[in-house]
Amino acid sequence: MCGIIGYVGTHQAVPILLEGLRRLEYRGYDSAGLAVAGHAGIQILRAEGKLVNLEEKAYGTPLPGVVGIGHTRWATHGAPTEANAHPQVDATGTVAVVHNGILENYAALRAELRSAGVELSSDTDTELIAHLLGREEGPLLERVVRVLPRLEGQYAVVAMSTNAPDELVAFRQGPPLVVGAGDGEMLVASDVTALLSRTRRVIFLEHGDIARLGRGGITVFDAGGHPVDRPIETLDWDAARAEKGGYRHFMLKEIHEQPDAVRNTVLAYLDAERRGINIEGFGFDPHRLEKIRRVQLVACGTSWHACLVGKFYIERLARLPVDVDYASEYRYRDPLLGHETLVIGVTQSGETADTLAAMELGRRAGAPLATVCNVRSSSAWRLAEARLLTQAGPEIGVASTKAFTTQLVALLLTALALRRVRGLDDARDGELVAQLQRLPLALEEALGVPDELYRRGVDLITASADSLYLGRGMLYPIALEGALKLKEISYLHAEGYPGGEMKHGPIALVDDGFPVVAVAPRTPAREKLLGNLREVRARGAAILAVAEAGAAGLDELADLIVPVPDVDPLLQPLVTVVPLQLLAYNVAVELGLDVDQPRNLAKSVTVE
């Protein structure tokens, strides 16, 4: 969703703002803009489309000044035009704001300002904030405090004013904002990737916080304008981890980072001898855990697919019933919740609005609340009482890859932890822990498949506008994930289905050359899946199977087999998803599409 950057310092603001915006591009956007406070007051540049359009304008229109704000906009209120791009200014041109979120009382505020004679120049809710601030008097911080009670909804805003041209005021209710303390310069951004090249010392603002940034430092206030203490944290992510590192796309780099990401996640939760898990590392209160009778997993998108696999892990190993819900549905369905239900929000970003709302339900019901999350200090991280950090590092490609595989590992470790708490652990756990430590090697092997196989896979998939991905058991979520990857970055329609359900409808789609992708490694249910494949084959389907080399019965059925190593059944979801990620990647590259920033998508969905 929208990206925000703000800078107060001694260097020219424009190049710093543009660099910050470049690093926020992955969040998804359709227009961009910046404002700088200089001798001529606040000057604004905005452009439709990609950042390069704004950059071209910036080269032709020097905007001197050492204080500024910038924005990438993902359109909500109004089309992605230049007039609707941010920053938006008030009627006098003395206040400029950038905003991420949605004002729910937009219509009422718009009507009120219009009847007060304010001429609106955009369709945005953001412009209303600029006018409200512009119509107040006094220092910007005081104006913000007076305007805040008038704003309903979710917002993260950074404002600047000609009355105090050396400072920025940032405030949030919902979408994240992080402020960075550099050397004689202060920054604010939607996420840390935009700050890393200038500082790793950051403060994550809480809901309702207001931060005033001046060259000399940052002061944080509550919504009433009273100073509050917020610790500065030093991040261990460095800027290089958010670079492409020689790969053509972030997605490809992140696919190849999976062995390391998985290794780091496994090792973070093992005991000193690496023979079992270190249960203290999870941060669970063991007494609370002993009382748990069921588990509720909530998430969106790819993280929801990870939860579907997590259900198999927890039910099989810890013998606890698990429900998996889309967070966006769960939050509105008055779920049954109490102290006996462990609620786990699974989220790469830790900022997905629906996942946070679903977790908040759990918190209010007194349920033990945990998160599997990739961003330390994110909103989910701070909301949960127990946290499992997936050690994937920054994930920039919009299509999630390494976050997914590390989520699977984290959920498997959680299942082992619950198993231990319930006294069910035995010698087999040690063997599984050993296999987990060998998993990075298996992932390397899965990544080593020759490109030629993917070229044939691309031909097979691109022969049709639709395809079907089939799997069974814990590989059905992998079929869903493979289909989602293809849809997201290639814009080709694909559906994931449990093999056994195919005869109940989707088989009607199959005709000559219709692509069917089968997630078919060795499992007790493989014979059943082969039966499904024979049925689609008989109707002319072209079959691409992911299975261990030489899989009996598949040779004569499949047009193409992408081999994966033969691993423990619990680890099959991890090795089989890799070829599906690479297949989607190769299709999108072949079609000449923007792999890392697919149209209409945002990396993290911070509003409903």
One-letter identity of residue 25: E
User: Computed from CA positions of residues 227, 228, 233, 237, in that sequence, does the dihedral angle turn out positive or negative?
Assistant: negative
Q: What is the DSSP letter of 205?
A: P
Within residues 509-568, the interface with ligand M6R by CB under 6 A covers none
Q: β-strands 369-373, 386-389: how paired?
A: parallel
Which of 177, 195, 295, 605 is in the footprint of ligand M6R by CB under 6 A? 605
**Residue 59: its H or E element:** helix 51-60
Q: How far is the CB of 57 from ligand M6R (least distance, A)?
A: 30
Which residues pair with residue 557 across a beta bridge? none
Q: How far is the CB of 453 from ligand M6R (least distance, A)?
A: 23
Could you write out the three-class secondary structure of 336-359?
CCCCCEEEEEEECCCCCHHHHHHH
User: Beta-carbon neighbour count of residue 601 at 10 Å?
Assistant: 17
Q: Which is nearer to ligand M6R, 14 or 357 (CB)?
A: 357
Task: Give me the residue whose beta carbon is nearest to ligand M6R.
Answer: 301
CA-closest candidate to residue 210, choices 202, 201, 198, 220 = 220
What whole-number distance in Å separates Cα of residue 450 and Cα of residue 220? 54
Contact pattern from residue 481 through residue 500 relative to ligand M6R, giving x for each residue in contact according to CB under 6 A and a dash for the rest: -------x------------
Which of 69, 242, 300, 417 is in the footprint of ligand M6R by CB under 6 A? 300
603 catalytic per annotation: yes
Part of the chain binding ligand M6R (CB under 6 A), chosen from 189-197, 392-400, 452-460, 561-569: 392-400
CA-closest candidate to residue 371, choices 401, 395, 406, 345 = 345
User: Beta-carbon neighbour count of residue 311 at 10 Å?
Assistant: 20
User: Computed from CA positions of residues 449, 451, 456, 462, in that sequence, does the dihedral angle turn out positive or negative?
Assistant: positive
Active-site annotation holder among 2, 300, 307, 373? 2
Q: Residue 604, interface with ligand M6R (CB under 6 A)?
A: yes
Q: Which is nearer to ligand M6R, 151 or 308 (CB)?
A: 308
Q: Which is nearer to ligand M6R, 151 or 588 (CB)?
A: 588
Q: Which is nearer to ligand M6R, 26 or 106 (CB)?
A: 26
Which residues pair with residue 35 across a beta bridge? 44, 69
Q: Residue 405, interface with ligand M6R (CB under 6 A)?
A: no
What whole-number distance in Å separates Cα of residue 87 and Cα of residue 89? 7
Look at the chain and count its residues: 608
Q: Is the peptide bond before 87 cis (omega within 30 degrees of 0)?
A: yes
Q: How far is the CB of 379 from ligand M6R (least distance, A)?
A: 10
Which of 154, 303, 490, 597 is in the footprint of ligand M6R by CB under 6 A? 303
Within residues 430-489, the interface with ligand M6R by CB under 6 A covers 488
Which of 76, 190, 348, 414 is in the footprint of ligand M6R by CB under 6 A? 348
Q: How far is the CB of 585 from ligand M6R (least distance, A)?
A: 12
What whole-number distance in Å separates Cα of residue 215 and Cα of residue 213? 7
- Residue found by looking up tokens 């199977």 in the block: 545
Where residue 491 falls (left for φ over 0; alpha for ψ -120 to 50; beta otherwise) is: left
SS3 category, 522: coil
**Residue 331: its H or E element:** none
Residues whose CB falls within 8 Å of the CB of residue 164, separated by 6 or more in sequence, listed in order: 139, 140
CA-closest candidate to residue 35, choices 85, 77, 81, 96 = 96
Q: Which is nearer to ligand M6R, 87 or 301 (CB)?
A: 301
State the number of binding residues for ligand M6R (CB under 6 A): 16
Could you write out the three-class secondary structure of 104-123?
CCHHHHHHHHHHCCCCCCCC
Part of the chain binding ligand M6R (CB under 6 A), chosen from 180-188, 192-200, 347-355, 455-463: 347-355
Do residues 151 and 173 lie in contact, with contact meaning Cβ atoms separated by under 8 Å? yes
What whole-number distance in Å separates Cα of residue 497 and Cα of residue 476? 7
Q: Residue 307, interface with ligand M6R (CB under 6 A)?
A: no
Q: How far is the CB of 348 from ligand M6R (least distance, A)?
A: 3
Active-site annotation holder among 311, 402, 485, 603? 603
Q: Which is nearer to ligand M6R, 254 or 548 (CB)?
A: 254
Report CA 533 to chain centroid distance, whole Å. 34
Do residues 579 and 562 lie in contact, with contact meaning Cβ atoms separated by under 8 Å? yes
Part of the chain binding ligand M6R (CB under 6 A), chosen from 171-179, 219-227, 288-296, 298-306: 298-306
Q: Which is nearer to ligand M6R, 48 or 354 (CB)?
A: 354
Which of 124, 154, 258, 302 is in the footprint of ligand M6R by CB under 6 A? 302
Q: How far is the CB of 378 from ligand M6R (least distance, A)?
A: 9
CA-closest candidate to residue 27, choices 200, 179, 160, 192 = 192
Q: Residue 259, interface with ligand M6R (CB under 6 A)?
A: no
CA-closest candidate to residue 99, choices 167, 4, 180 = 4
Q: Residue 400, interface with ligand M6R (CB under 6 A)?
A: yes
CA-closest candidate to residue 579, choices 479, 432, 476 = 479
Which of 126, 341, 355, 606 is in the footprint of ligand M6R by CB under 6 A? 355
Q: Residue 398, interface with ligand M6R (CB under 6 A)?
A: yes
Q: Which is nearer to ligand M6R, 263 or 485 (CB)?
A: 485
Q: Which is nearer to ligand M6R, 44 or 299 (CB)?
A: 299
Q: β-strands 515-519, 542-547: how paired?
A: parallel
373 catalytic per annotation: no
Q: Residue 399, interface with ligand M6R (CB under 6 A)?
A: yes
Part of the chain binding ligand M6R (CB under 6 A), chosen from 181-189, 344-352, 429-437, 550-558: 344-352
Q: Residue 43, interface with ligand M6R (CB under 6 A)?
A: no
Q: Residue 55, interface with ligand M6R (CB under 6 A)?
A: no
Q: Which is nearer to ligand M6R, 189 or 529 (CB)?
A: 189
Which of 20, 134, 301, 440 is in the footprint of ligand M6R by CB under 6 A? 301
Q: How far is the CB of 580 from ligand M6R (least distance, A)?
A: 12
Give the largest Cα separation in the chain, rounded.
78
Within residues 169-188, the interface with ligand M6R by CB under 6 A covers none
Q: How far is the CB of 131 from ligand M6R (least distance, A)?
A: 33
Within residues 59-118, the interface with ligand M6R by CB under 6 A covers none
Q: Which is nearer to ligand M6R, 372 or 502 (CB)?
A: 372
Q: How far is CA 89 from CA 63, 189, 339, 527, in A?
A: 17, 19, 49, 65
Would you name the residues annotated as active-site residues?
A: 2, 603
Which residues in this chain contact ligand M6R in the complex, by CB under 6 A? 300-303, 347-349, 352, 355, 398-400, 488, 601, 604-605
